[in-house]
Amino acid sequence: MHTRYMFERTSQDALPLVLLIDDDLVSREVTATVLTMNGYTVHTAEDGTAALALLSAPEKNPPALQPDVILMDSQMPGLSGTDLIGELRARSHARIFVVSGSNPPTELTAAANGFLLKPFNAGAFRTLLDGGKPEAAVSLLDPNEPVVNAETLAQFRKLMPEPAVRQVYQAVVTDLGRRIEVLAAAMARGDTAEVRRIGHSIKGGCGMAGALQAARLGARLESWDGKSGGTPSGDNQLDNSAVLLRDLRAAARRLQNMLDADMPA
């Protein structure tokens, strides 16, 4: 079980105590850091079973957790969905909000107190707590932008056979996956130099391969300013990191989808 006590409750007692349940380590740590940097006390659990253990501690040392708000990912292995909501309500009076990168099933949002679309920042979380409807985080991806530069792809196809071309782009996808995980860790600890270094590498490698979307996001990261996260909204950089991470993952998925459709193995 992974549990993290993020902040001592001192002058921030007016803010609700949060339990975050998410099986994805990167998403869990970035979200917890975003909320912590905005004054919230956050405990985390990697799945439904771990969360119930926190709420049902039989001994007084440590005492059972009594959160004011529970954020739970909509899709997790093991105990999840409406079954998990039922178990959480049996052990806690907390408000339960479903968080997801896409619209969850109607029965799940009906069982919860509300829904929050990933990625979200502390302002969206606050709006949700106040009973409003948070605005979705703006994507930096242009849906009309080609996944791969057509001229670069044509040049590769002149120089090498199709299986070798696929191998080049498959290597780009694999490398992106590795760099995204390192990038998320750097963002979580506020390591501006490392974020810029990774961004430079993504911009250069993807640029050489003509992977336009990923290269452009790498350029954003290379200009990370420590305040706005290289994004135009001007919010906290950790808030914006979730947008960049989501978009990088989306760019990698689109490249993989292109390979599967146009260059099947």
* Closest to 232 in 3D by CA, of 140, 146, 163: 140
Give the domain ranges of the chain: 17-129, 150-262
Per-residue model confidence (pLDDT) at position 187: 79
Cα–Cα distance measured from residue 236 to residue 228, given in angstroms and rounded to the nearest whole number = 6
Per-residue model confidence (pLDDT) at position 235: 41
CATH number 1.20.120.160 given to 150-262: yes
Per-residue model confidence (pLDDT) at position 116: 85
pTM: 0.56
The tens place of each residue's pLDDT in the chain, 265 residues long, gives 343 443 343 334 478 899 999 998 877 888 888 888 888 999 999 999 999 999 986 655 566 788 999 999 988 888 889 999 999 999 999 999 998 877 778 888 889 988 888 777 788 888 888 876 655 556 677 778 889 999 999 999 999 999 999 999 999 999 999 998 888 888 777 788 999 999 999 999 999 999 999 999 999 888 876 544 444 333 444 446 777 887 888 899 999 999 988 888 7
Per-residue model confidence (pLDDT) at position 136: 54
Maximum distance among all Cα pairs of the chain, rounded to whole angstroms: 70
Cα–Cα distance measured from residue 67 to residue 70, given in angstroms and rounded to the nearest whole number = 7
Contact 55, 77 (CB under 8 A): no
Residues 6 or more apart whose Cβ sits within 8 Å of residue 223: 196, 199, 230
Per-residue model confidence (pLDDT) at position 8: 40
CA–CA distance from 38 to each of 41, 121, 207 (Å)? 9, 10, 36
Q: Is the dihedral of CA 93, 123, 184, 237 positive or negative?
A: negative
Which residue type sits at 25?
L
List helix spans (H) across the chain: 25-37, 48-55, 81-91, 106-111, 122-129, 150-159, 162-188, 192-209, 212-222, 237-262
Neighbouring CB atoms inside 10 A of 125's CB total 24
List helix spans (H) across 56-134: 81-91, 106-111, 122-129
Per-residue model confidence (pLDDT) at position 96: 93
Per-residue model confidence (pLDDT) at position 84: 93
Buried b (16+ CB within 10 A) or exposed e, 162-190: eeebbeebeebbebbeebbeebbebbbee
Q: Is the dihedral of CA 210, 214, 217, 222 positive or negative?
A: negative
CATH number 3.40.50.2300 given to 17-129: yes
Identify the burial level of 215 via C-beta atoms within 10 angstroms of its C-beta, where 0-12 means exposed, 13-18 middle and 19 or more buried.
buried
Collapsing DSSP states into helix, strand and coil, what is residue 262? Answer: helix
Identify the burial level of 209 via C-beta atoms within 10 angstroms of its C-beta, where 0-12 means exposed, 13-18 middle and 19 or more buried.
buried
